[in-house]
Structures are given as structure tokens and as C-alpha cells.
Chains A and B, each alone.
Chain A
């Protein structure tokens, strides 16, 4: 069945997503990091669904998205925090 924390987390995820979408125009273009964040949100969704049906399949998806998210974050951090090619602090 559902775990309480997972549902709360999912709710928070939706709220954060709403906030993100509203403000996205003003945010600097750190897209890789945002993709990482979306992947985490997906993982959260799968965690909840996993408690209802296809437990194994969604569990697999959940962990897969963790991995995807990790890749995005690693790439994002590499691109935005390390390489000197472009200044990502700019909005446009």
C-alpha cells in the first residue's frame, strides 16, 4: 500500500513543479539540472504507483530514473560548474 512519506513527497513534488513552471522564464538556463530534477519527480511517481500495481516493473523504473537523474546532474554539474566555455548565470 501507499507509504505516507511517499505521498507527501509526491505532493511536494507537484507543488514544486508548479512553482518551477511559473518561474521558469526567470531562471538561468541550467537545463541539465532541471532534467535531473524532472527525473527525480518521475521516480517519485513510480514509487507511489509501485505500491498499487506491477510492483517489480515500477520499482525497476524508479531505480532507472534515479540513475538517469544522476547522469543528468553529473553532466549538468560538469557543464555548468566546471567547464569554462559559457556563462550559465545568464537568463537568456
Chain B
């Protein structure tokens, strides 16, 4: 009797304890309905226990009547409790699955929307099921608007039926990936080169229901490829040109030098003077031609200086258009950025372009030259290196270039003119490339042509104007000339003597060093040394200057060469020279350089 009472007491207290806990529980992991059901279930047995206590304690057995009904209630309540747990579990699972699905969908979406490939899902009736922004960009459309429409109407121009050689259909037929490269026409008429990969889209029973089309834009890639081919072609000419240009240049130096000398001996009103001037001009033209050939060769590297080329553009253009009925219009920014350029070469480019325009407008027309500053040009022209550029646009209203010819016009020897050499644009291209720039053309037959030049902006200050006046500058002093070519030695010696200098001519570096040492011993100072950079089979200018510096660290030397590409020529200062004189010599220039060096010495 007693022990049963104790059991009941324990049971009641425990159930009460459990009830209190449930009542105060704040745990979220078990929801309220579950809590209520378990509380009700436990509550029934608490009451049963209570009634038992009252009964066994001989207080009252009144509640014994209801005990059976209370007991019956426990099971349904407990079942409800379990049932609510099950529902909740199911719910949790579903929420979790949905979350993972959403997450995965988000990942897929990011992938498809951010990839730089056009991706399209197409069913077997050519309906676009899904596509991505890259595809839209490729064809200049809002990609969302293409969904549900036919692929051949959306992704090609003026097509009413499926493409005859649809790679997608091929993929569906063979069940394999199909890769093709083709040109696609956008709505605005522009052509893009694309690579299309199609993959069959299979349903559950592995039969094809459509295809996936992945499109890659090849335009940039093709552009690079073409550039490479172009520069290869130019390179091969360069090898040829470089071979003869050196000798030819030396010959011309002698010719031009002798002509200058002859002119100096004559009065301006002498009839011979006029003839000599014309001969001289022709010789300079021949020199320009060599120079043109040399631009292809390694010898054509620009001797750059920092400058703005606004004036140069206007001057070169006007020079060519002078006397024609072509109207020129300039649109050149006042604050055009400075570039590092070989002015001679850049004017050559302008010259070639404007000449072409002139030839394209035999009955006159309008030539517009624009020069502007472009920030971050590499963003729009991917082939350019990062940085700021100036952009020169030469536009004419001539007969234009056939679209089919545009890829070829920069090729050497490509010409549509009976007497053209086809070197004009090739030279321009070569020069611009060597300046780190880019030249490209556009045209529509009948609407004229347009050429764009991009040149990288300089990061240096504009160097002081070393404008060359056209007069001979006389002077006095002792000058040593080293050149392996006898005729050049002769003409330079003559020339400089005429200008008032005392000249020692030597034919190799060894001889130059010997003479210099002698002069030091005899205290007959040699003021300036002119050194040829390359001496076949002998000591060249570079080795000679090193030796001379040992004899006299303050020796003033000018380096001269027909190979203007040589780094020594463009960065002569680094190698210990004070000046540079490209061959063939323009004696006006040489006389100025000499004077300047001598004046500097006096001022020191």
C-alpha cells in the first residue's frame, strides 16, 4: 500500500516538473503545437497520479471515476505530439531543399550571366528557350526580348528561314559537339566573326529535343592574328631593304655632300646653282626613298623626341595639298598631348595618307584632319597597351576603299593604282607600329575613306626646341672624322674645311685613337670627334669612344650612322656621345650641331 503511494507521489511530482519545464521553455527548436500536445499528454498522467494519491491517501476517491477517461486521452495527445514533430520535420527538410536549390540556381545564374560567351538554349523548332546577356551584347540586343523567338530571326539579319547548315541540327542528328567559325551579321549591318559550338540537348529518354549554342566572339582574336601577319610581311621586306639600304645611304651621302660643296662655291644667281639645287633635291628624294625602305628594316627605328605634332600635321598636309582644289579642314585640339616621336617619320605618315587622299580626290573634295586626346584608349581598342593616346583622324571625300580591300591596303605592294608602288600605307603602318601606336582604316565605297592613328602619349616633358635653321653655321676648331668610306671622308673633310674647321680624317677606330693620343701629346686639342658607329672589319664608334674617354674623359664625340635604329643612335648620351648625326649628312644640321657643342665648351 505504502509503496504504491510513493510511486504515485514520484510520478505526480515528475509529471508536474515536466509540465512546469514545458511551460517555461523558450526553446525554438520545438514548435508550440508540439509543446502543447506533449503538455496535454503529460497533464493527463499528472492528473491520474494526483487522483491516485488522493485515493491512496484516503482523502477522496471522487476522481477515480474520471481516471479511466484521462488515461484514454494520453495516447491521442501523444500521437498528436509525434505527428506534429513529423510535420515539422517534413517542413524543415523542404525549406532546406528549397534553400539549396535557390543557392544553386543563383550560382548557375551568376555563371551564365557573367560569362563572356553567348549561351543559348534552343528547341528543335528553333525557338529560343533561354539565353544570356553576353549573347545579347554580341548581337546588340536586349537578350530578354529574344526569348521565345526563332534563333535565325534574332541572331542573324533578314533571315526568314533556318540557316541551311545549322550546326545545332547537325549536333542533334549526330549527338556530338559541332564547332564552326563563321561571320554573323548584326542588325546594324556590322559583321562579327564568331566561333559557334553546339551541344545536343537530350531529354530523359536520351533523344534530342534541342541544342545548346555557345558563341565566342573572335573579333579581337582575329584582329591580333591579322596584325601578326601584317608585321611578318613587313619584317620580310625589312630584311631585303636593310641589306641594300646601308650601302645606298653611303653613296647618297657622298652625292649630297658633294652637291652641297659645289653649291657653296657658286653664287646664288649662277645658272649652275639652280641645276645643282634640283639635283640636290632629287638626291634628297632618293634619300627619302631609302629611308622609306629603311623604315621596314631594323634600321628604321625612330629617333624619338618629345613633342606635340599639331604643327607638323598642319604643315605636312598643307604642303601636299598646295595647288590642288582640295579643301582642308583641321580640327586639332589646342592642348594636344605630347608624344615621343620621330618627327620625320610621323610627317612621312601624314604625307603618305594625305597623298593617298589627294589621289582619291582627283576632282577636289574635302580633307578633314582631326587630332584629339584619348584617355584609356585601350578600353575601346584592345590591341593597344594600357594608357593615354592621341588619335589622329584623316578623312577624305574621295572614291573610298572597297570593303574587300580594307584588310589588304596595309600590305606592302598592294596597290590599285597603275603607277603606285603600294608602299605608302605599309610604311605608315610600320612607322606607327614602331612608335607603339596603331593605324586602321574604314571606308564605304562612294563616301570616302577615313584613317585613324593612335599614338601613345609621352610621359616626358617637351624637350627644348632644337629648331634647325637652314643656314650653314661657320666655326673654328679642330675636328676629327672617322669613317671607313673614303668618299664620305673626303666630302666631310672638304665640307668642314669650308666651314672653317681644321679637319683630321681617319678610317678606323684604331687610327682615331692613335691620332687623338698624338694630339694630346702635341697639345693640339681636338675639339670634336665624329665617329661612324659601324666600321666593317675594324674598331667601331662604340669601342672607340670607350678608349677615347680613357685618354680624355671630357672628349666631345658625335656618333653617326646610316642605321638610325641602333639604340646607340637614339640614346647616344648613355653611351658617352654628345650628339648624333644620321647619315647621309645634312650639312646644315651637322654645322649646327658642331657649333652648339663648341659654344657649350666655351661656356663651360
Q: Which residues of A are at the interface with B, using a C-beta cutoff of 8 A? A: 3, 5-6, 8-9, 12-13, 16, 19-20, 23, 26-28, 30, 33, 37, 40, 44, 59-60, 63-64, 66-67, 69-71, 73-74, 76-78, 80-82, 84, 87-89, 91
Contacts and interface: CB of A to CB of B under 8 A. Distances in A.
Nearest to B73: A9
Nearest to A28: B85
Contact of A74 (B18, B68, B76, B85): B18
A63 B52 contact: yes
Contacts of A16: 75, 78-79
B86 A23 contact: yes
Nearest to B21: A77
B30 A74 contact: no
27 contacts: A3-B68, A9-B68, A9-B75, A23-B82, A26-B90, A28-B85, A33-B38, A60-B4, A64-B7, A66-B7, A66-B11, A66-B48, A66-B49, A67-B11, A67-B14, A70-B12, A70-B14, A70-B45, A70-B49, A76-B18, A77-B17, A77-B21, A77-B25, A77-B42, A81-B27, A82-B21, A89-B88
A26 to B, nearest CB: 6
Given A26-B90, A89-B92, 14 more contacts: A9-B68, A9-B72, A12-B75, A13-B75, A30-B85, A60-B3, A60-B4, A63-B52, A66-B8, A67-B14, A73-B14, A81-B30, A87-B29, A89-B29
B35 interface: yes
A59 B4 contact: yes
Nearest to A78: B21
Contacts of A5: 68-69, 71-72
B29 A73 contact: no
Nearest to A80: B30
Contact of A73 (B18, B24, B25, B68): B18
A63 B30 contact: no
A28 B11 CA distance: 25
Given A67-B11, A74-B17, A20 B35 contact: no
Contacts of B10: 67, 70-71
B470 to A, nearest CB: 96
Contact of A77 (B12, B22, B86): B22
B76 to A, nearest CB: 8
A71 to B, nearest CB: 5
B79 A19 contact: yes
B13 interface: yes
Interface of B: 3-4, 7-8, 10-15, 17-18, 21-22, 24-25, 27, 29-30, 35, 38, 42, 45, 48-49, 52, 68-69, 71-72, 74-76, 78-79, 82, 85-86, 88-90, 92
Nearest to A47: B71
B469 to A, nearest CB: 94
A55 B242 CA distance: 125
Q: Which 7 A-B pairs have the closest CB atoms?
A: A70-B14, A89-B29, A81-B25, A70-B11, A5-B68, A74-B14, A77-B18
Contacts of B4: 59-60, 63
A26 B86 contact: yes
Of B8, B11, B22, B78, which is in contact with the most chain A CB atoms at under 10 Å from its CB? B11
Nearest to A19: B79
A69 B72 CA distance: 16
A26 B89 contact: yes
Contacts of B21: 74, 77-78, 81-82
Contacts of A63: 4, 7-8, 11, 52
B78 A91 contact: no
Nearest to A30: B85
Contacts of A33: 38
B42 A40 contact: no
A82 B26 CA distance: 8
Nearest to B71: A9
Nearest to A74: B14
A67 B5 CA distance: 10
Nearest to B39: A77
A87 B27 CA distance: 9
A27 B30 contact: no
A8 B11 CA distance: 23
Contact of B74 (A40, A67, A78, A84): A40
Given A40-B74, A74-B15, A66 B45 contact: yes
Contact of B89 (A28, A40, A60): A28
A49 B14 CA distance: 25
B123 to A, nearest CB: 41
B68 A6 contact: yes
A27 B82 contact: yes
A63 B11 CA distance: 8
Nearest to B67: A5
